[in-house]
């Protein structure tokens, strides 16, 4: 099993072949390859941190160096968002597919059930993680859910509350932890607690726990495949998401694709000259 010092040194390690897009470096892996990588690491007793950058995360890290460092230090980063997949394609460094936290919670839980690896669900409103637990256990017989937790809103500002979340998590001793608190809260918490469980993998999964529980509806697959999941969520929760999607994320995505397209055209012109 990895030691605390090995976990502390993890940010210095870099995976070869990462694709730089939208200010982050993502691993060109399929969902199946991510699951294979995580399971292989768990069998060796090595933990890690998996992030799933999307447009909103990329926009945030473009403005804040500390958030960029948080994502850069992760052991695996996969593109959760079709604009990142399209941008990488325009840059000539295509990614094999979009890999979302909402999908990984299913595929990694299936692998955990097969390998006898306990999981932990952290996040969501009261009762949602327990419902997600029941749904996953019903889908994957033999799955062990070591615990669930739903920290109250604003808990991250209270050292005692963070310490209690940490205590419960460490006492449960899971091998795979899904943290659905939204970026950057979930990833800051992971950075704080992962040294306590050096043999566990932490997955920052956003709304995946709520999706799994059925507390929040997820867009149809065809909308996700065509980069329209944001529109489905906007129509579902306009009051909460209108500013984020229309004022912040959409202009960022359009600028990103425009810049990548210009770079592609510039390369073609240079080749033709």
**Which of 8-17, 64-73, 179-188 is least confident?**
8-17
* Domains of the chain, residue spans: 4-272
> Which of these, 74, 30, 77, lies nearest to 53 by C-alpha position?
77
**Which residue has 């294979």 as its token pair?**
36
**Which residue has 């999964």 as its token pair?**
205
What token pair was written down for 14?
Answer: 């870099």
- Split at pLDDT 50, 70, 90, the class of 13 is very low
What's the pTM value of the predicted model, to 2 decimals? 0.90
Strand 19-21 to 24-26 pairing: antiparallel
| Model pLDDT for residues 199-215, shown as the tens digit of each residue | 999 999 999 999 999 99
Determine the average pLDDT of the residues in 103-116: 98
């Amino acid at each position: 099993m990895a030691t605390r010092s090995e976990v502390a040194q993890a940010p210095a390690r870099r995976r070869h072949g990462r694709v730089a897009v939208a200010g982050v470096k993502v691993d060109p892996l399929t969902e199946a390859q991510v699951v294979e990588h995580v399971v292989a690491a768990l069998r060796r007793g090595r933990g890690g941190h998996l992030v799933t950058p999307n447009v909103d995360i990329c926009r945030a890290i473009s403005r804040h160096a500390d958030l960029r460092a948080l994502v850069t230090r992760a052991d695996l980063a996969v593109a959760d968002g079709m604009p990142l997949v399209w941008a990488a394609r325009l840059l000539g460094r295509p990614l094999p597919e979009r890999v979302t936290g909402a999908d990984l919670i299913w595929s990694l839980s299936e692998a955990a059930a097969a390998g006898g690896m306990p999981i932990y669900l952290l996040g969501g409103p009261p009762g949602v993680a327990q419902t997600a637990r029941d749904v996953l256990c019903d889908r994957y017989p033999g799955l062990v859910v070591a615990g669930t937790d739903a920290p109250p809103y604003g808990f991250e500002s209270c050292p005692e509350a963070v310490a209690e979340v940490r205590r419960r998590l460490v006492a449960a001793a899971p091998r795979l932890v899904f943290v659905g608190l939204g970026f950057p809260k979930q990833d800051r918490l992971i950075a704080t607690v992962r040294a306590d469980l050096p043999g566990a993998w932490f997955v920052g999964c956003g709304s995946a726990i709520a999706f799994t529980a059925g507390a929040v509806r997820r867009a149809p697959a065809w909308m996700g495949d065509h980069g329209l999941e944001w529109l489905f969520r906007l129509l579902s929760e306009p009051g909460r998401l209108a500013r984020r999607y229309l004022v912040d994320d959409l202009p960022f995505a359009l600028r990103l694709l425009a810049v990548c397209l210009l770079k592609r055209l510039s390369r073609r012109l240079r080749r033709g000259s």
